[in-house]
Structure 1
Amino acid sequence: MVNMTTSGNAALRAARQSLGYRSQAALADALTKTARTIGLRVAVTARTVRRWESAEPPWPQTEHAAALEALFKRPIAELGFIPPWSDESTPTRPTVRTAADLQTAQRHFPGAAAALPASVATDYVAITVSYRHLYWSLPATRLHRSVAEHAQLGIDLLQQVPDPAKAALAKAVSESSLLAGRLEFFDLQQPELSQPSFVLALQAAHEGDDVLLASAILAHMAFAPAFSGDASRAEEARDRLRAARAFARRGNASAEMIAWLDAVEAEVETRFGDTRRALSLIHHAEETYEEYDSDTNPSPTWLDWFSPTRLAGFKGNTLIIAGRGREARETLERVIVDLPEDAVKQKSIYLADLAAAAVLEKNPEEACTHLESALDQLGRTWYATAMDRIKAVRQSLRQWDSLPAVRALDDRLYDWHTTVNSLVG
C-alpha cells in the first residue's frame, strides 16, 4: 500500500502519467478542455492539481470531479480522493453513481449485448413522468429517495437496453436526476447533494443529446452561487446562465422557456442586489410570454414549474427586495387568486412574500395573518424554502414583538409540529 503521507496522492499521479501528462500543468489543461466537452465552463489550474496530488488532497468541487471522471473514465474515489461523506453522515441520499458510471454504461454495453428489451426504456420513462407529477403533492422527504434511486436505476438500465432505446432512456435519467436535484436544493435545502445530481443530469442529457434539458439543468446550477450569499460568486451564476441561454438557442427553445430563463436570471440578479436589472428581465419575460404559441413551438413536457402566474410570483419577490411594498402586494394578491389549487408549495412562498410586502407597508397584523396562512400550507406539504422565507419575515417584525398578533405567530411558528419539521425536514 502506498504511504500517502510521504508520497502524496500517488493514485492520481499514476493515473496522470498513464495518460501521458508529464506535468501537473498539462493535466490541468486537459481537464479544462474535457470540462468544455461535457458542457461545463470551468478552468483547472496547475495549483489545483498540485493540491490534489498532495498528501491530503481536498475533495474536488462538483464540476472538477465531473471533469476528472470524464477524463480518466473512473470514479474519483479511485483517484486517491476520500469523500467527505464517507462516514455515512448523509441520511437521505442513496449510494450515488457518478458521471463516469454513465459513460461506462454507454461505452461497454453495445446493443448486440443488450439483455433487456427496448420496452424497459418505455416503462422507465412512464415512471419518470409519474414522479414529475408526484412532486407537486408528495412531501419531499418521502419522494426524494425514490426519485434519486430511480435515477440510479436508469444508469444501470443503460447498460442493458438496445442502442435505439438508449437516447430516450438517457433523457429520462437526466430528468429524474434534475428532479432529485430540485428536491435537494429547494425542498430539503441540501445544496451539497443537489450539485452532483445536476452534474449527473447534465451528463445524461448529453448522452441523450437533449440540449433543452441541458439548458434547464445549467440554469438550475446557477441557483447555488446565487443563494450562497457570497457576492464573489456572482460571475459563476451568470456564467451558468450564459451557458443555459446558449443551449436554449441551440434547441430553438419556446418563448415560455426563454421567459423562464429571464425569470431565473432575475432571481440571480435580485440575490446579488441588482433589482433594476432584475425588473428589466422580468419585463422582458412578460413580453416574451405574450409571444408564446404552444401549438407552433411548444415547451418540453417537463417544463411544468413555470407559468404566467409563477412569473408574477418572481416579480412580486423582486419588488419586495426593491422596497416597493404596494406594487408587490398588488402583484402577489393577483398571484394568490390565480394560483392552481394543487400548487401548495408555491402558495406558501407567495403568502410569505405577501407578509413581507405588508411589513414594508408597516402593517404587522396583516403580515402575521399571511404568515399563519403560509404555515397552514406547510402543514399540508413541507417546503424548507418557504420556511426560510417565513423566518426571514418574522425577523423583520422585531420592532413589533410586543404585539399580540406577533406573539400568537410565535406560538404557532414554534409549536411541536413546525419546530420538528424545520429541524429534520
Structure 2
Amino acid sequence: MTRPTGNVRLKAARVAAGFNSQQDLADALSDHAKRMGIRGLSIGARQVRRWESDNPPWPQPDCQRVLAQLLGQSLEALGFTPPWGTDGLSSAPGQHPPVPGAAVSSRLPGVPVRKTAASHPAIVGTDFHAVTKSHRRLYWSVAPAVLHPAVQAHATLGCVLLREAAEPTRSVIAAALAETYLLAGRIEFFDLREPGLAHETLLLALQAAGEADAHLLGSAVIAHMAFIPGWVGDRDAARERMTAARTYARRTDASAEFLAWLDAVEAECETRCGDTRTALNLISHAEDVLKDGDAHPSPEWMDWFSPARLAAFKGNTQLLAGHLPQARVTLLEALEAMARGEEKQRSVIYGDLAAVEAAAGNPEEACSYAGQALDQLALTWYATGMDRVREVRRALTPHRHERCVRDLDDRLYDWATTVSALSR
C-alpha cells in the first residue's frame, strides 16, 4: 500500500473543510482575505501545491492569518514548521502574528520562548552582540549574497541562546537578535530584491525588539517595513506603518538624526507614490530637525543615515519632481559630503546624476555618470545602484545609436557585469 506523501495534514484539513481541489482552497483563501480586510492578497493553486509538498515553506504573515482562520487550526497543526523551530507551543486558531503598532507578546510565534533559565554567563550576550556588530560593519564592504547566509546562521544561534537565557543576558541577546534580523531584512529588500522575504524577516526583528523592550529599535524596524508598500505605491499601508514607527520613537529618547531619518523614509515612500510635494516638505522638516539637534545620541546600530544621505534623498525627489537644476546641485553636494564607508550610496548618487543629465538631454554627461556608477558597483555591489543605471539606460533609448550610449552598453553588458547582475 502506498503511503501518502507531502503535507498530509494540510491536505486532510482542506478536504475536511469541503475544498476538494487545491484551486478550490486557493479561491476560498483569496475571498476570505478580502472579508478579513487584507487587501491585495491573491493566492493561487500553485501556492497551495507548494504548501502541500513534502517540504512546505512557512507561509507569509497574511497567509498565516487567512489559513488559520479559514481552516480553524494553527499553522503547526496544518503541517508547517516555523523557521525558528518549535517549543511545543501551538497557536490557537486565528492567532495572528504582530502588526506594526500592536503590542508584542513574548509568546507570539517568531521569537523563541524561554523554557528554562540556562546558566549562560553574561559574556555570552556580549559575545553574541559583538558578532552582530561585525556583521553590521561587513555589510558595507562584503557582497550581500555572501554575507546573508552568515547573518541568517547568526540569527538561528540567537534564537537558541534566547530560549535558554535568563535576565539580564536575555535582553542583551534579544536586542542583538533584533539587530541581526534587521540587517538580514535590509539585505533581502535593498540588495536581493525579495520584499516578501524581507517582510517576514523584519517581522521577526520586531518581535525580538519587543523581547528586549527596545522601542527605538522597534521604530527602526517598522520604518523599514514601510519601504515595502511604499515602493509599490501603496500609500495607505506605508503611511500606517510610518505612524506606528513614529509612535514607537516617541516612547523613548530619539536623536534628531533618527527623527530626521523617519522623515526621509516617509519622503521616499511619498515620492514612490507620486506625491513629491509632500516628500519635499518632509525633507525640509528633516533638514530643520538636523539643524536644531538635541542632546540625545543616535544608537550605534544606526549606520545607514547622515546629512549626506538626506541630501541624496532630496536630490532623488527633486529629480522625480522635474526640478533638474536643483537636483543636480543637491546631488553633487551630497556626493562631495559622502564619508568613507558610504560607497554603496555613491553608486546611487551617480545613477541619479546620470538620470538628471538624461532628462536634461545631455546623453554624454549621463553616460559618464552611469559609467562612474558602474565603476563603484564593481567595487561594492548594490542592487539599488544597478537599478538606477538601468533606469538611465532606458531613458537614453532615443540616443541608443550615439557612441556614448553604445559604450555604456558595452560596460553594462560585459561578461562580468552581466553574470554578476543575473546571478543576483
TM range (shorter): 0.7 to 0.9
Could you list the per-position Cα deviations for residues 80-108 of structure 1 after superposition, in whole angstroms to 9, with x for gaps in the alignment?
2669xxxxxxxxxxx93279897477544
Q: Could you report, residue by residue, the CA deviation over 1:216-237 in whole angstroms, capped at 9, with x for unpaired residues? A: 0001001111222xx4x22111
Indicate whether 1:248 and 2:246 are aligned: no
Matched with 1:91 is: none
Alignment of 1:253-402 (within 5 A): 253-293=254-294, 296-402=295-401
Amino acid at match of 1:80: L
Amino acid of the residue matched to residue 402 of structure 1? H
Cα shift readout 1:39-74 (whole Å, capped 9, x = no counterpart):
xxx9946999xx99xx959875425638999xxxx9
* Correspondence 1:8-27 to 2 at 5 A: 8=14
Describe how 1:37-52 pairs up with structure 2 within 5 A: 44=36
Structure 1 residue runs of 5 or longer lacking an equivalent are 12-27, 33-41, 84-94
Equivalent pair of 1:99/1:199 in contact (CA under 8 Å): no
- Within 5 Å, which residues of 2 pair with 1:227-246? 227-228=231-232, 231=233, 233-246=234-247
- 1:359 CA drift (Å): 1.4
Distance 1:188 1:3 in 2: 33
Partner residue of 1:214?
218
Q: Deviations over 1:5-54 (max 9, x none)?
A: 6752769xxxxxxxxxxxxxxxx9xxx9xxxxxxxxx9946999xx99xx
Q: Which residue of 2 aligns with 1:189?
A: 193
Q: Percent identity?
A: 46
**Residues 308 and 334, structure 2, Cα contact 8 Å, conserved in 1:** yes
Q: 1:238 to 1:99 in 2, by over 3 A?
A: farther
Distance in structure 1 (CA, Å) of the matches to 2:189 and 2:39: 30
In the TM superposition, residue 206 of structure 1 has moved relative to its aligned partner by 0.4
Matches within 5 A, 1:119-158: 119-158=123-162
Closer, same or farther in 2 for the Cα pair 1:398/1:98, shift >3 Å? farther
How far did residue 302 of structure 1 move?
0.7
One-letter amino acid of the structure 2 residue matched with residue 300 of structure 1: P
- Residue 117 of structure 1 contacts residue 162 of structure 1 at CA under 8 Å; is this kept in 2? no
Question: The residue matched to 1:340 in structure 2 has which SS?
Answer: coil
The answer to which structure has the higher helix fraction is 1
- The TM-score with structure 2 as length reference comes to 0.80
Taking the aligned partners of 1:118 and 1:161, their CA distance within structure 2 comes to 9
Find the residue that maps to 2:164 and give its secondary structure: coil
Structure 1 residue ranges, 4+ long, deviating more than 6 angstroms after superposition: 66-69, 98-102
Contact 2:60–2:196 (Cα < 8 Å) also in 1: no
**2:228 corresponds to 1:224:** yes
Give the Å deviation of 1:210: 0.4
Aligned match for 2:115, one of 102, 109, 132 = 109
C-alpha distance after superposition, 1:234-262 (max 9, x if no partner): 21111111100110111231111110000
Distance 1:66 1:219, change over 3 A: farther
TM-score (norm. length: structure 1)? 0.80
